[in-house]
Structure 1
Amino acid sequence: MERITKADDRVHRPAGPWTPTVHRLLTHLHERGFVAAPAPIALGEQLETVTFVPGEAGEYPWTADVASEAALVTTARLLRQFHDAAASFPRDDATDVWSQAERLPVETIVHGDFAPYNVVYDGIAAVGVIDFDTAHPGPRVWDVASAVYRFAPFTSSADEGAPVPEFADRVTRAAEFCRAYGLDARSRSVLVETMTASLVSLVTTLETEAAAGNPKFVSDLAHGHAELYRADVAWLEEHGDAITAALV
């Protein structure tokens, strides 16, 4: 399992081949005025040190604050601010290393796992984004799709025993997220297919890493995560037209 520890205002995390590039990204974000991300402090052979982003991550089960419309809106706006700041990141294809493959069309540097558990809240306000290990060049809609899938939520079952909202309520939350982000019409039209593509990619990664012996993914596979995501793909394919019609 990941060895993540906190001491005072610092967080120590495992480092990977992509960490130097991520540190360069985090530095760029702060230089552009996006201070809602951790700032890099140090990088060793096995561990990185970054600043602690104060607040509470949106872990399951959600609090009433995290489940609120205000949290949904501030989360979407925070994602837009991150994308806008990351869009000017000076890429160096000769030296940059990302943990995920580049996705076309490249519009910015996407987070790659923009979900409630990687967003930090102060009450109903989203105030931080953490865990940039999966960051990579890609289209803005890739992160928006991940967020809408998690925040609507568009899932076939409940997270941690929480009740699943009515379909109409989920579509309303999805539309509100897109509105608050300012997602363009073309991206809205491909949002559902992007959600399914991201889930298929997630299952592939999960099974590949589990087969390689990665303990986190072995645990996820044992807990039925791959089956859940496959069920969600089927659910999205069944309801995709209705969702898209409500978003565009």
Structure 2
Amino acid sequence: MRTRWRLVGGAVTVTDGLVLRPVRPWTGAVHALLTHLREQGLECVPEPVGVRDDVEAVTYLEGDCGGDAMPHQWSTEGLESAARLLRRVHDATRTFEPPARVEWAFPPVPGADVVCHGDPAPWNFVWRDGEAVGLIDWDHASPGPAMDDVAYLADTFAPFRPDEVAADDHGFPAPPDRAARVRELLAAYGASGVGFVDRVVERQQKTVERVLWLADQGIEPWASWVRQGLLEDLRARATWTREHRHLVE
């Protein structure tokens, strides 16, 4: 008899080399995408194992992630490694053919040329020895323009945040040179910086819309986050970027 996969406290659980997560409406789409990426030789993404009842399982990638990821991304080398990894993933998605009637977390957007990860922040990369070697947590994946992901990457890696947030939440030991970090990130990815700050503002606004989209459907934890005031924090990020362009371009 097969073992039942159980979530501890209903939350994401790591056990026996597997990451167990609640099944979402988009789980089938994400598993198909991850299978494609693994078939393209990308071992930097989890391998889908399957679904049992209301729990999905993917393989666990060894390394630092979450809060432990922060020190790795302070350096130019760490920043550039994340940008290069994202570019490899994007390029491999271009040949992905999703199953019929597939459901993503968000509707596809005009100008889609890749399947975006949707949340390529430092804590969703896996790090070893200061280098980004994996990309996890694919709940927000959906077809979109590659530059949406690049803008989100810059938003969270530069970061487009006040100095106190860069220190307290992102752990920077000193105020970062955001403009230099944006240039390094774009060069490593292979993208142009023309109009890029405006692109980041657009992506920050889209984050607000997407969180609200999930919350309005009652999907957790986004519904709880909205009740706790997350939207106000997200809207404030775009306001900060508009008012501090001189720091980021």
Q: Which range, TM-score by smaller chain?
A: 0.7 to 0.9
Partner of 1:23: 31
| Partners of 2:40 and 2:92 within 8 A in 1 | yes
Q: Deviations over 1:115-134 (max 9, x none)?
A: 11110100211010001111
Q: How far apart are the structure 1 equivalents of 2:56 and 2:196?
A: 34
Q: Deviations over 1:149-204 (max 9, x none)?
A: 0000111350535458547x111001100000111x3xx32432332222222223
Gap regions ≥5 residues in structure 1: none
Q: How does 1:150-189 map to 2 (within 5 A)?
A: 150-156=156-162, 157-159=164-166, 160=168, 162=171, 166=175, 169-183=177-191, 185=192, 188-189=193-194
Structure 2 residue corresponding to 1:225, chosen from 230, 245, 249? 230
Q: How far apart are the structure 2 equivalents of 1:138 and 1:165?
A: 34
Q: What SS does the corresponding residue of 1:91 show, helix, strand or coil?
A: coil
Partner of 2:155: 149
Partner of 1:193: 198
Closer, same or farther: CA 155–15 of 1 in aligned 2, 3 Å: same
Instruction: Determine if the alignment matches structure 1 residue 75 to structure 2 residue 79.
Output: no
Structure 2 residue corresponding to 1:123, chosen from 125, 129, 132? 129
Closer, same or farther: CA 2–125 of 1 in aligned 2, 3 Å: farther
Q: What SS does the corresponding residue of 1:158 show, helix, strand or coil?
A: helix
Q: How far apart are the structure 2 equivalents of 1:195 and 1:114?
A: 13
Q: What SS does the corresponding residue of 2:101 show, helix, strand or coil?
A: coil
Q: How far apart are the structure 1 equivalents of 2:131 and 2:69?
A: 17
> In terms of mean alpha carbon deviation, does 208-217 or 151-160 score higher?
208-217
Q: How far apart are the structure 2 equivalents of 1:114 and 1:16?
A: 19
| Partners of 2:126 and 2:136 within 8 A in 1 | yes
Partner of 2:211: 206
Q: CA deviation at 1:146?
A: 0.5
Q: Quick one: percent identity of the two aligned structures?
A: 34
Structure 2 residue corresponding to 1:139, chosen from 141, 145, 152? 145
CA RMSD of aligned residues (A): 2.4
Partner of 2:93: 86
Q: CA deviation at 1:229?
A: 2.0
Q: CA deviation at 1:78?
A: 0.5
Q: CA deviation at 1:101?
A: 1.7
Q: CA deviation at 1:68?
A: 1.5
Q: CA deviation at 1:60?
A: 6.8
Q: How far apart are the structure 2 equivalents of 1:172 and 1:211?
A: 38
| Partners of 2:33 and 2:98 within 8 A in 1 | no
Q: How far apart are the structure 2 equivalents of 1:61 and 1:74?
A: 13
Q: How far apart are the structure 2 equivalents of 1:124 and 1:61?
A: 9
Q: What SS does the corresponding residue of 1:56 show, helix, strand or coil?
A: coil
Closer, same or farther: CA 101–191 of 1 in aligned 2, 3 Å: farther
Closer, same or farther: CA 96–12 of 1 in aligned 2, 3 Å: same
Q: CA deviation at 1:58?
A: 4.5
The TM-score, its normalising length taken from structure 1, stands at: 0.85
Q: How far apart are the structure 2 equivalents of 1:81 and 1:61?
A: 20
Closer, same or farther: CA 227–144 of 1 in aligned 2, 3 Å: same
| Partners of 1:141 and 1:191 within 8 A in 2 | no
